[in-house]
Structure 1
Amino acid sequence: MAISSVSPDAARRHLAAFQEGATYFVTRSVLDWRGREWLGYDDNSQFVMPRSEADRLLAKARGDVGLLEIELGIPPGSWAGAVLLRIDIPAPHELNLRLPSGNEAGANACWLPGGLTPFGHSEAVVDRIPLGKYVESPAWNIFPPEPTTGSSTSTAAASSPCCAEAPRSMNSGPN
């Protein structure tokens, strides 16, 4: 049983980064399969990151899904060839925004206490997200992919021990 050992003041400071919204990534096929009325895991949780960090990560990746997988600890190839969506939650504080405990359905073996991923991205958890409380859009809508040159960082994901476990973004259905 994992538990976060962060002080209440540190937790408040961490969650303040989500004041302007939260984001997570998911494949279109998963949303088509699971439906859009309620998003998140059946245990009433969904991992999210601050919207501003998601924007920076997309700008850094410039269409390289393999790099996103590495940065977020998603198993390599999970999103290859899939249409990737971003789910923006404008008011995550209305959905019981909290630090993850490590017991959430989306937590994997690389989960760390304190609200940071192994690659240093801020994370938190919200309750399941009802239709009307989120905005769905293509992940690359703001930062379109650059043409690939034949080399992909996806192969680098295989060397990351945090990419060998289940994803944190509801990607448990068909790709």
Structure 2
Amino acid sequence: MSLKPVVRSMKDSLDGMPIHIRQLAEMFRKHGQKQNRNTAGVNDLDATDVPDALRDGWKKDSWHTPDRIVGSGKPNRPYPAEYLDADYIREHIDKFGDGATRFYRADSLNTYGPGNNGTTFVFPTSEIDNIIDQAGGDPKKLGTMLGLGENFFVDKNGNAVEIIRADFTPDEITNGNIRMPQGNEGGANAQWIPGGYLPEGIPEAVVNVSDTGTGSYTNFYVD
């Protein structure tokens, strides 16, 4: 079944809506492009299911809309369970069954530690190789894909900075230590949208971290 008609109709219906709803439509469009371009390379992204899952997972009786949630601002954004079905949330968290991963600037990690008020955003470890391949060794593209901005992993001269990869094992993120982002977290920036996905369509979640004993940190080199 082609995803194009679904993506196009959803995008067209949302074009006149506020910016954060349009971001969701753009996310759906990019998933469709990825699916058509390289089906074998996006198995873990489950691109064919994301648009329908998010649309169907939004509680029909909720007064919340994506734009209203984002517009509420920190620290007033509601818990995801208020507007997302329990099945949707569970299936989303299941994407992290093989562990979770994130990338840090080494200078920021050394100065501020691994968390922002004790939490950090992470991505499914099972999808990291695909993310790295798509970035193609470009630190600006990596920053954009991870919702951090194209200049996050480069210095003022545009050169790549030292990057640290942190991997969290399944054992480290069990017992409620991984959850759907609420948007009130210290690391939630202007790119955050509800539903557990970055604008680029990459799944994200939040885990608790400590300065010691959480995660395995290794150097990550951009070619």
3-state SS of 1:107 partner: coil
3-state SS of 1:77 partner: coil
Q: Deviations over 1:69-101 (max 9, x none)?
A: 111121332211311111000122246100011
Q: Tell me how far 1:14 sits from its aligned partner.
A: 0.5
Which deviates more, 76-85 or 113-122?
76-85
Task: Tell me if the contact between 2:140 and 2:149 (Cα under 8 Å) persists in the aligned partners.
Answer: no
Q: Which residue does 1:86 correspond to in 2?
A: 165
> How far apart in 1 are the matches of 2:87 and 2:149?
33
Q: Which residue does 2:100 correspond to in 1?
A: 22
Task: Tell me if the contact between 2:141 and 2:150 (Cα under 8 Å) persists in the aligned partners.
Answer: no
Q: Which amino acid aligns with 1:64?
A: D
> How far apart in 1 are the matches of 2:220 and 2:189?
23
Q: TM-score, normalization: structure 2?
A: 0.57
Q: TM-score, normalization: structure 1?
A: 0.72
Q: Deviations over 1:34-71 (max 9, x none)?
A: 24xxx2111x3211110112221012223210111111
1:31–1:95 CA distance, 2 compared to 1 (3 A)? farther
Task: Tell me if the contact between 1:95 and 1:128 (Cα under 8 Å) persists in the aligned partners.
Answer: no
Q: For structure 1, which runs of at least 5 residues remain unmatched after alignment? A: 146-175
Q: For structure 2, which runs of at least 5 residues remain unmatched after alignment? A: 1-75, 155-159
What aligned pairs does 1:47-58 form with structure 2 within 5 A after superposition?
A: 47-58=121-132
Q: Which residue does 1:109 correspond to in 2?
A: 190
Q: Which amino acid aligns with 1:137?
A: T
Q: Which structure has the larger Rg over C-alpha atoms?
A: 2
Q: Which amino acid aligns with 1:116?
A: Y
How much is the aligned-residue C-alpha RMSD, in angstroms? 1.7
Q: Which residue does 1:164 correspond to in 2?
A: none
What aligned pairs does 1:8-157 form with structure 2 within 5 A after superposition?
A: 8-35=86-113, 39-42=114-117, 44-80=118-154, 81-91=160-170, 92-94=173-175, 96-140=177-221, 145=223
3-state SS of 2:180 partner: coil
* Percent pairwise identity: 33
Higher normalized contact order (CA 8 Å, seq sep 6+, divided by chain length): 1
Task: Tell me if the contact between 2:153 and 2:161 (Cα under 8 Å) persists in the aligned partners.
Answer: yes
> How far apart in 2 are the matches of 1:10 and 1:31?
32
1:133–1:95 CA distance, 2 compared to 1 (3 A)? farther
> How far apart in 1 are the matches of 2:145 and 2:192?
13
Q: How many residues are paired up? A: 138
